[in-house]
Amino acid sequence: MSNFQVDKNGFYGEFGGAYVPEILYKCVHDLQEAYLPIIESEEFKAEYHALLKDYVGRPSPLYYAKRLSEKYGCQLYLKREDLNHTGAHKINNTIGQILLAKKMGKTRIICETGAGQHGVATATVCALMDMKCEVFMGATDVERQHTNVERMKMLGAKVNPVRTGNMTLSDACSAAIRDWCCHPSDTFYIVGSTMGPHPYPDLVARMQSVISEEIKWQLEEKIGRDYPDYLIACIGGGSNAAGTIYHYMNDDRVKIVLAEAGGAGYETNHTAATMHKGTVGILHGAKMLVMQNNDGQIEEAFTISAGLDYPGVGPMHCNMYKQGRTQVLSVNDDEAIYGGYELTRMEGIIPAIESAHAIAALSKLQFKPTDVVVLTVSGRGDKDVETYLKNKQMAKEYGNF
């Protein structure tokens, strides 16, 4: 049986590793040594699961979507990460990492954010744990995601607009890494997705693995078997996808379908479809598939969805894709808008525009009526209502709402 887990050197096949400046060697090494003993300790698990239950509101429901099941000719269940506190799966990870930071004696938290969802989830747990918090966010995103900036400030975080490069997520990551270089001893960097130097991809995947842990017993309860025929999730850096598939990676009965952001189409330059377009390169401390030109310059990602707007994708997913374990579909902006309206009108659930990419993948697959499909709704769409309304026309060739 293949093993898609990280090896002891921090690699997933040819991907991953820890490519960091010398000044961070000790910091990253300390984290590599510390994370497993801490997160596998009974004390950590008890605190983490108590907070997931009473603060985040887990387990998140596994909901049978009757009308969409009929439409797509399958048995469709939605894993409702949109119902978590702060509105997405990101909080599963920030709760875990802040507990780890505390146990490692760190006193200051930094993070990067794009749309602001990870910034809000981090500022939230910093308020909860009484920790200093600084968020790095591209100046363009600070403008575009004003409400989330206000939420972070209200929660007590300092938001640092980043004015280098395209002034978006990728630049925010670089700025956070630079800050970390200046404060290696007291600062813990809470990374928001399955990216960054080892051990972050593995750490984040483990923190999100609660999603598939719950899917297992919830399916058992509902259908009398603990695995689906299909798992579907959207993918930016890869954390909600990693959580969704974690306990099924080596289970060949389960097909895995991931939806990346095609933007205007992966054949255009206006795209964030990293697995379709990317080539092997190093970005933010790890070897992965990145969109880059022939000189190795990182190319800007384009998509309607700020949360998928990243020119790379986590190493675990690069490896699984290269090994043929996952099917990756490129879902364009117009298809995602339609998917978001479809879930809204047919099930009464307004999804995050990121999650709408996963919904749109349904129409690209052929199911048998008995197929059990679990699709993760990674977040709620409150933040995206304006985007949906403004771009409704874009999706009209797929039908009318």
Ligand X SMILES: *Cc1c(COP(=O)(O)O)cnc(C)c1O
Could you tell me the two tokens for 265? 């189409």
Residue from 10, 307, 312, 340 in contact with ligand X (CB under 6 A): 307
Q: Smallest gap, in angstroms, from Cβ of residue 262 to ligand X?
A: 15
Check residue 312 for interaction with ligand X (CB under 6 A): no
Cα–Cα distance between 262 and 299 in angstroms, integer? 14
Residue from 117, 148, 166, 387 in contact with ligand X (CB under 6 A): 117
Binding segment for ligand X among 69-77, 166-174, 230-238, 289-297 (CB under 6 A)? 230-238
**Cα Rg of the chain (Å, integer):** 19
90 belongs to the catalytic site: yes
Amino acid at 320: M
Binding segment for ligand X among 233-241, 267-275, 288-296, 327-335 (CB under 6 A)? 233-241
- CB under 8 Å to 84, separation ≥6 — which residues? 56, 57, 58, 60, 91, 92
Could you tell me the two tokens for 133? 């918090």
Cα–Cα distance between 179 and 130 in angstroms, integer? 21
Shorter beta-carbon distance to ligand X: residue 123 or 308:
308
Question: Of 170, 239, 330, 378, which is the active-site residue?
Answer: 378
Residues pairing with 326 in the sheet: 256
267 belongs to the catalytic site: no
- From residue 22, how far is each of 27, 34, 206, 360, 382 by CA, in Å? 10, 19, 27, 43, 42
Looking at residue 328, what DSSP letter applies?
E
Check residue 141 for interaction with ligand X (CB under 6 A): no
Question: Of 90, 106, 277, 287, which is the active-site residue?
Answer: 90
112 belongs to the catalytic site: yes
Shorter beta-carbon distance to ligand X: residue 171 or 371:
171
Residue from 231, 352, 360, 375 in contact with ligand X (CB under 6 A): 352
Neighbour count for residue 337 (Cβ, 10 Å): 28
Q: Smallest gap, in angstroms, from Cβ of residue 105 to ligand X?
A: 27
Check residue 126 for interaction with ligand X (CB under 6 A): no
Residue from 193, 330, 332, 391 in contact with ligand X (CB under 6 A): 193
Are 18 and 288 in contact by the 8 Å Cβ rule? The answer is: no
Cα–Cα distance between 57 and 394 in angstroms, integer? 35
> Known catalytic residues?
90, 112, 378
Q: Name the residues that contact ligand X, by CB under 6 A.
A: 88, 90, 117, 193, 234-241, 307-308, 352, 354-355, 378-379
